[in-house]
Structure 1
């Protein structure tokens, strides 16, 4: 049990401890911290005070972002995590650490890491099937390659923003129902509820990473909202795929949950048929049982289950590097929209409203098909932590604004 009172019955207890970057009213310099209950522990001060005596990398803990720490590898990540857990559970440490804690309500959060590259996948069979039925009603919903490789595309790292950042409705070309080509703000602005994985340990160009090396390179995960302008996307994506309809904003949590916090959330991933090629085969094929929630202006409209994802994050990493592409510290790759088999488990509004034909009624009685200016979307998720205690992933929220 921790001596931090707000963490005793919290989903941010010592079995969680996500990392973030924050500043306080009396110290505007961004620094690393871990969330414990309703407070943030200053890792810089912890290291400088010698209270993390066995931490092998005090200099990385003094950095204003996670990248230097993430680059050091799994042994260091585990050692530091163990030291922090010990400090937060040993009663004698309270007198030394109490001044290093700040209430969450008083801090300003900053981007937790510098994004190197961003890749988005398309790994939910339910989502891909739904979109196939919407766009190709007279054909097979899945394209021939879908069960042979994790389909993905390169996004734009410079427009990955932390939770709370305003989302400006994008402009672009779109084709009207009458066939006219017009320019202006997107009229079909959507979300995609996803899970992102953050790379820590880099690789050299020309050296693929196997699926079984996933935990040697990936530091942790974050919820992701990959905002999507469906009308812009529909007109531009043939033949090269998403571009301006996706690249205007992608929101991530202010907190990165380390993989070590999710050991008890690992589950056997869905069986794959046909058999995958050897580079995608996994000795230990597992996914994560994450229970997601999508709220639209405060009304929960969906509960996507990450456990159903057909392609695992380990397979995504293997496919992303099989051609020799190098990993960089801070690379972010996302799962693609998380959707389940039931209507209330769809992770995009395109699916929930079935292409805009079935409006959603919100708690205030208003109806929506796609996002209107002023609308707020919030993503949350929980997972099983140690000793049967639920842990929470950092929320992802954004409000739509007009130009």
Structure 2
């Protein structure tokens, strides 16, 4: 009978511990479900508060990924097993990404009830917004009929929370409220590269600007491939995803299809934009850094030729390559709007680099670091040549000024100068 009080105490203690554990577990489950309701799967929800425009500036059609389709029984089981840990981790990563969360009401006010449309992409419409702080931003809204937008939303928030580079478009905030998924970016006042290459409202880009854009994009990709830990593969490099600021400096945008290199690279369906897709990726369903390099090579030729990949750009390039052997003679594909205002040697060097990027064999393509070095050297040589010409021109101007000054001297001083020269000559003769 003496042991009964001890057993009672032990039983009560165990009950208290179990109760505390259940309370803690219930608290975390409540927090997770609340976050999941905001950022979780909302494909079944349809929001009619934001107008969705069907026609946009992005003329390149994206294709879907296998992850968007229906799940297999095996994946359903795996999803059920990782439901608590995986889902909770994803929600906590987004909340801890350092990206600010904005209210839907504030964004509605900043965009004048979503009427300031400035673009349209696969993700959804993009609006210009004036925040209460005075900052101008771009607000991208997930289209209610988007099949891939939900996953892109989570990818962009989680990736851009840790990726920061002057040649990447910075994500400054997000909103997951009222059935909407919204991303807020730094505003790029000059719009997309595509709008400048093909838009009638903008003046044609000069050769120098095109090469600076090419270098800016290369630096952004180099950071993703070699500077980010773990490395990131963008998977959707194209002219409509390159944005320009007020100084015409370029930044890479749209990371919804991006993946960290450590994840499984094999997919059953293709994901990306036709015309920019690596043929090796299409045949093997395996994406690598060299897949980005191929897309970048297409972009380089797009800058050179001013022709969209959907307009037969690569067929045009291949025909030219048969005559150039990939090294010289690329002037036949140059954008006519340049009016011949480009350096021929520079053109051949850049085109030869682009042709290496689109090699059918991924191993033969250069790395983004190699590309940055080549383009930097080309631009540096051009700038050095310009400075040399300027300095030569300045020396010619100085000589002209000295002659003019001599011509404006008084006859007396000129006479004295001539006499002194004559006397010097006489003395030399003697």
Q: TM-score scaled by structure 1?
A: 0.23
Q: Give the structure with the higher percent helix.
A: 2
Q: TM-score scaled by structure 2?
A: 0.22
Structure with greater contact order relative to length (CA < 8 Å, sep ≥ 6) = 1
